[in-house]
Structure 1
């Protein structure tokens, strides 16, 4: 029995992570952010057709999903197996489900931000201006909480690993 324990300990890999920073999701910010979203949705429905509004609400998260899949496949040379859909605030949409390097996560979200804004700008000649403003605003609305959390982890960008939970986002060092 003693030899079995020794064999397991010699062949196993042990990962130890040290917590650098944890950000708990505050309900106050969730309610405030939701109220802003509802007010913006009512305003958008007054200036857009319901079909345009629904297409934007469905299309922007799908664009985030497909662009993240494309970036993960081309830049990281691997499938997005460790990513999943989150429905909870602030990670609404496609986000990592396990540990991911903070520098990679920041780079992916920076590219996501600018590529989709540029894509919306390229559609300017074919789409009405109110729809473009709505698409851009909704894109920023979905990304702002993520970018804010990543900005708060900025001092750990060299060696940080991020994990997302239901009640907090944590940054660890390996």
Structure 2
């Protein structure tokens, strides 16, 4: 049976892989080992209440990240529904792209996220216990570190490319 010709309505994407970064298992283990150390310090400094504040702060920071990312994407006119989802695989935890995404919009979103998340955590200081504010700052920084690592790895690449996150690697493509 001969192959059917492609439809005139079909869209074909041709991306060229420029750079591929595979996650180092040792670095991921170190990144994950930070969590129990921080939780132990929280417990020593604030008692059992420190663990409660830390757990609440994690969900609070994830929510702040979600709100900031969605807001920036809405203001930029970027599609959210099919391209972004909540991920739970190290090192990518939080609301992140699920498909190919423009590197420029990713940088824009995460620069806003880094600064606005930091500001929100610091604004809490007068009204919330210091343990909660500290936990919020630590969780925010812990979640932002892999994204900043991504920016340093791809800083020499042209900003008009596309990239994709997978569970085991970061891929940068030229469109």
Identify whether the pair has TM-score above 0.5, normalized to the shorter chain. yes
Cα distance change of structure 1 residues 77 and 149 upon mapping to structure 2, 3 Å threshold:
closer
1:147 has 2:145 as partner: no
Within a 5 Å distance, the mapping from 1:110-129 to structure 2 comes to 110-129=111-130
Within a 5 Å distance, the mapping from 1:1-174 to structure 2 comes to 5=5, 8=6, 10-48=8-46, 49=49, 50-76=51-77, 78-174=79-175
Report the number of matched residues. 172
List per-residue Cα deviations over 1:61-91 (Å, max 9, x = no partner).
Answer: 1211122112211222543431111111111
Question: C-alpha separation between the residues in 1 aligned to 2:128 and 2:9?
Answer: 59
Greater fraction helix: 1
List per-residue Cα deviations over 1:147-166 (Å, max 9, x = no partner).
Answer: 11122111224222111111
Gaps of 5+ in 1: none
SS of the aligned residue for 1:87 comes to strand
List per-residue Cα deviations over 1:27-57 (Å, max 9, x = no partner).
Answer: 1011111112210121113334133122112
Moved more, 81-90 or 151-160: 151-160
Gaps of 5+ in 2: none
Question: C-alpha separation between the residues in 2 aligned to 1:153 and 1:142?
Answer: 18
Question: C-alpha separation between the residues in 2 aligned to 1:11 and 1:157?
Answer: 30
